[in-house]
Structure 1
Amino acid sequence: MLKKPFTLLFLIVGFVVASCGGDEKPEEQLVAKGNKMYGGELKFMSTEKIDNLFPIYTGDVYSSRIISQIFEPLLSIDPESGTVNPGIAKDWKLSSDARVYTFNIRKGVKFHEDACFKNKTREVTAEDVKFSLDLACTDVKNNEVSYLIVDLIEGAKEHFDKSTGKIRNGGVKGIKVINKHTLQITLTEPYVGFEKIMTHHGLGVTPKEAYKKYGKNIGKHPVGTGPFSLESMSSSKISLKRNPKYWRKDEFGNRLPFLSKVTMTYVKNKRSELKAFRESKVDLVLELPVEETENILGTLEEAQRGLNVKHKVDAKKSLNMMYVAMQNQSEEFSDERVRHAFNLAIDRVTIVDKDLEGEGWPAINGFVADMEGYPSDKVRGHSCNPELAKSLMKQAGYANGNGFPTLDFYVNGIEGSAAHKSCVAIANQLKENLNVNLNVILCSLDERRAAVASGKAKIWRAGWIADYPDPSNFLAQFYGNNMKKQSTMVNDFNYSNEAFDAVYERALVETDSEKRMDLFVQCDQMVIQTAPVIPVMTDDHIIIINARVRDFSATQMETLDLTSVYIKEIRTKK
């Protein structure tokens, strides 16, 4: 049986004196209202190295957890309800024809103090938002987010196609500055999901001065408006410090954030990370393996002796999809029958229940993760059928696997992780059912990307986590036009299907919610029918939190929002 999400609480309530305090005093002099506290350092670890902190240059969840602390987009989103809320824009309105958005930029929002401002700061204006969005629509090296908006905003595709590494004179036609605090965006067609796209961390607002000053090194000199700014960045860690001029306040009138510092270090394996947690060297463990839960909780005797760290374990069903990508235009996988055979040879239920000990949920429907409002149960996914798989391989000229080459199977993950275990299981099942040999190669995310970009990788493990809760965010992976964008993560398996593209484009402009979802279901079913990838499983986002860390919880998009998190040490009984 699959293990269900769970939440265990072991919190001891402390005590704090609350009174009024100045907004920009040193943290040690600030006193918070509402029984909260300023100061303290929150520490966590990452298994993947992060070497670039410029929004449009990154798209993976590891980088976004840091970037989202530094930068803010026009709008924000509640990761649980999917509700779009104000951000840099305090409010907005949509024209009667649903094509023109007018955003009112919040006054008083300031960029971090930086050398690009002569170690001072300045207020964000509509010009900054236009610059940031124009840049996202420009064909510059390492732009990972252009696919989000170039087909939606008037003139954006033309701008992208004609730009040569820099913003063209005047920028994108459909992005206009009306005045210092008003920006207007005109869409090519009405698109009901546009507001959610404007919450994407990759569209964070950045100043032109920083981009001009730091150039190719902008990724190591991020300048945003977020609750934290970069303090230091090295091969061993990234440190963020509190932004004392941050614009947001909580319900008690406390200027946010509460934390003085956020530090992320790197770790090679999960066991070392769990050890660091038990020794109180880190405050969070992200992606906690189910089989390690009892180990980290400690024994009853340890709890009675006060030896284990007081903590909370929290979990949410994640909006993600772990899948295996196949290079669709390679000699090995250009034949749809081979791709179907690989899908049919895999028993997803066994992988989750046996190999992963119930950690996760088998992908029995389509590629889109189960989310509010999307009828995923209407999509019929692949089921394990070894005999049909063998028949398809024979039709493709690979009877009993004869003639099919041994391939390296690139897996970004660490030894013993869920990613590693699931991919070993996949390789074993393909060997057993199709007599196909895959060599599992453990690598970093950057190493996998390089192998895919060079054409060396023919098959690899990948994952997609929703940037915003909408089916389009998953299905954009298969849109043929996205192969022409410079993103190394979207449609990197080179899938091209005119029928899919036509239905997907209809879904993008459909304003009726029910009809829109039905079109996305059709797209999802086409993905199953043409088998460009192997959807394997979704999982739960399980985290463990030191009890001294307050107001932090897991989210279905696996994001980190540290804006309102505070630290209050546990008081022990004498």
Structure 2
Amino acid sequence: MRKLTAIILSFLFLFLLGCGNSNNERDDAQMVLTPAKGGKFYGGVFKVNEAEYIKNLFPLSIIDIYSYRVASQIYEGLFKFEQKTLQVVPSLVKSYAKSDDQLVYTFKLKDNVYFHDDKCFDDGKGRKLTAQDVFYSFNLITTYNKNNQYSHLFSGIVKGADKYYEATKHDPSFFNSPEGLAGIEGFKVLDEFTFEITLVKPNSMFLYNLARPGAFIFPKEAYEKYGEDMRTKCVGTGPYQIASVDEDISIILSRNDNYHGKDEHGNQLPFLKAIDISFVKDKKIEFLKFKKGELDMMYRVPTEDIINILAESDETNQNFKYHLQRTPEMSTQFLAMNNMGKVFNDVNIRKAFNFAVDRQRILELILNGEGYMEGYYGITPPVFDNYKIDDIKGYRHNIDSAKYYLSKAGYPEGKGFPKVTLDLNTEGEQYSNVALEVKKQLKDKLNVDIELKISPFAQIAEKSIMGRYDFLRLAWIADYPSPENYLWAYYSKNLPKNPNDKSWPNLIRYKNPRFDVEYEKALLSNNEKTALQHFKNAEQILMADAPFIVLWYDEGYRLIQRHIRDFPNNPMQYRDFSTVYFDKTH
């Protein structure tokens, strides 16, 4: 599970360094660079755009990729992902050991890590991180709280986690009581920089969990001072810190001069002076800004411009303008169906919709080929070693089957079928064009009417969590590199007992005990081959229930300006700006 497939590596471009002067006009103050060891340079402001504004930067509330990309520059966990290979590597941890029975993990923390300077501290100066901070953050993860979307990270995994969670659920004051402050049985502070975790049973994904956003470490002082305001008031240990927030417009991150990281040459990280993140929804405007040199990177270019981009980024041409980074991604585009909703609680309707959608037409004609493969198989994209998705039977365009299942559901020729709303967010024209095509296909093939409703991402996120939707456009982008990341969302034990409560990550409110059994067997497996087979069994059960419509597996087009260095692309779009620098010679 931890290895990327050769198919990914074969599509990664190894970019040659172009010659000549850059045509981009940059503000002189922003581009003042000073030499560092190894031919690198300090300075410069990296400008990047996101199509949607962040929802919440508080680690326990991060559920969207836009917030994750920003927060991962500010916060750190015990582990992180290596940007090029996506392997799990130590971050705040200097070393760790695991007992022979794979139940006890002992972590030695770095002793030179400081939190960002912030007025939450008595003197305004960031203090040193200790094992007590890990203890505090991890106990908070396992509490019942409306803003906590990550209690599942340790539930059923760490000794005493479930008991602690139930105690906080029945008594909101428990966390600050003497018993609550004593913490979870499985968490122990051995000394100032040593932390121990005891599991209930072996878990093959445990270190991955410690690299996820919910496991970012923050100080008690910040949580007690800011509370819900930690949505944008962030205090972490990362290479960058919040400099300014202009709601819905921009976020500026400034260099953390007291960061603990160094590169292979001994240079103090990070190199960049700042990161300027804008939030322009129109991809055409974003592309224009990139071509004018006002942005250093662009992700997901307008579909109609792809042919020109391929020509302008062809590095065999010495006049090429920018680098194109292109790779199959750990991202699956799909239409979610509320499995407990009034319409899609019927598996026959879900199957009818799945068979009615022509995925090949969408990929070739609507997306102009901007995608890696049609979604004919499961929810997991084709990027993982020893996990062949073509072993999983999904759905292909078949009108006879679509009509059969719709009739079986009680709606022959679509007669009497209720009007369904397809909700989608406003990220460029790509998704709206696909939604229009799906609407047309369902009307033409099944005589079913679909109403489209476009809303800001924040509203879509709230609808999905609360289950207030029928039909919803979603994308699942991995936050750790494993097929398990695509399947854990459908584990029924992640469902709330009250159907009116928030449901994360099981947004479609799917439940099948047979799926749960195979999923649990995978987590308990002692070797990768066995675990992957159980994951595959679980995914086949999932797809037989047709809980969503897999449309396509993504292929990412990312453009970066010629002067950008040490910013490798990866299938997860995991971004670590700590090592990125501007090349003064370009």
Normalising by structure 1, report the TM-score.
Answer: 0.91
- Which of 166, 172, 175 is the matching residue for 2:184? 172
When the two chains are superposed, the root-mean-square deviation of aligned CA atoms in Å is 2.5
Query: Which one of 316, 333, 340 corresponds to residue 329 of structure 1?
Result: 340
Structure 1 match to 2:26: none
CA-CA distance at 1:145 after TM superposition = 2.0
Is 1:346–2:350 an aligned residue pair?
Answer: no
1:392 partnered with 2:392: no
CA gap 1:51/1:514 in 2 versus in 1, 3 angstroms = closer
Matched, 1:539 2:545: no
Gaps of 5+ in 2: 1-9, 22-30
What is the CA-CA distance between 1:100 and the residue it aligns to? 0.9
Which residue of the partner structure matches residue 554 of structure 1? 569
Match of 1:157 in 2: 162
Say which is worse superposed, 245-254 or 431-440, in terms of deviation. Answer: 431-440
Q: Which residue of 2 aligns with 1:209?
A: 221
Q: Identify which range, 251-260 or 160-169, moves more after superposition.
A: 160-169
Corresponding residue for residue 117 of structure 2: 113
* Partner amino acid, structure 2, of 1:508: L
Among candidates 231, 237, 252, match of residue 243 of structure 2? 231
The residue correspondences of 1:121-270 to structure 2 (distance < 5 A) are 121-164=126-169, 165=172, 167=175, 168-235=180-247, 236-270=249-283
Q: Displacement of 1:374 after TM fit?
A: 2.1
| CA spacing shift, 1:541–1:484, aligned 2, 3 Å | same
- Counterpart of 1:528 (choices 543, 552, 562) is 543
Q: Residues of 2 paired with 1:540 and 1:402: CA distance?
A: 38
> Amino acid of the residue matched to residue 363 of structure 2?
V
String of CA shifts for 1:310-350, please: whole Å, max 9, x gaps: 31110121111111111111120111111111111112122
CA drift of 1:553 comes to 2.4
Q: Which residue is 2:524 aligned to?
A: 509
Aligned-residue offset at 1:421: 2.2
Which residue in 2 is equivalent to 1:491? 506
1:12 alignment partner in structure 2: 18
Displacement after TM superposition at 1:386 (Å): 1.2
Other-structure match for 2:43: 39
Whether the aligned pair in 2 keeps the contact of 1:10 and 1:547 (CA below 8 Å) is no
Which consecutive residues of structure 1, in runs of 5 or more, have no partner in the other structure? 16-26
Residue from 362, 368, 378 that aligns with 2:391: 378
CA distance in structure 1 between the partners assigned to 2:117 and 2:503 by the alignment: 32
Question: Does the 8 Å CA contact 2:467/2:508 hold for their aligned counterparts?
Answer: no
SS at match of 1:563: helix
> Structure 1 residues 525, 304: closer, same or farther in 2, change over 3 A?
closer
Normalised to the residue count of structure 2, the TM-score between the two structures is 0.89
Structure 1 residue 298, shift from structure 2 partner: 7.7
2:37 match: secondary structure: coil
**Corresponding letter in the other structure for 1:352:** L
Q: Percent identity?
A: 33
Match of 1:318? 329
| 1:4-52 per-position Cα deviation (integer Å, ceiling 9, x unaligned) | 957495743589xxxxxxxxxxx97964101100011000111111142
- Structure 1 residue aligned with 2:77: 73
- Residue pair 2:494, 2:504 contacting (<8 A) in 1 also: no
Q: Judging changes above 3 Å, is the alpha-carbon distance between structure 1 residues 557 and 299 closer, same or farther for their aligned structure 2 residues?
A: closer
> Quick one: structure 1 residues 28 and 392, their matched pair in 2 at CA, closer, same or farther if it must change by over 3 Å?
closer
Match of 1:319, SS state, is strand
Task: For residue 557 of structure 1, report the CA deviation from its aligned partner.
Answer: 0.5
Selected match of 1:461 from 458, 464, 473: 473
Residue from 280, 283, 286 that aligns with 2:299: 286
Q: 1 CA distance for matches of 2:59 and 2:368?
A: 37
Amino acid across the alignment from 2:110: R
**1:518 equivalent in structure 2:** 533
**Contact 1:130–1:175, Cα closer than 8 Å, also in 2:** yes
* Partner SS, residue 159 of structure 2: coil
Supply the distance in 2 between the matched residues of 1:191 and 1:451 (Cα, whole angstroms): 32
CA distance in 1, matches of 2:436, 2:504: 23
- 1:240 to partner: Cα distance: 0.4
2:196 alignment partner AA: Q
Find the residue that maps to 1:115 and give its secondary structure.
coil
Q: Residue by residue, what CA displacement relative to the aligned partner does 1:489-521 show, whole Å, maximum 9, x if unpaired?
A: 411111111111122112111112211111100
How many residues align? The count is: 553
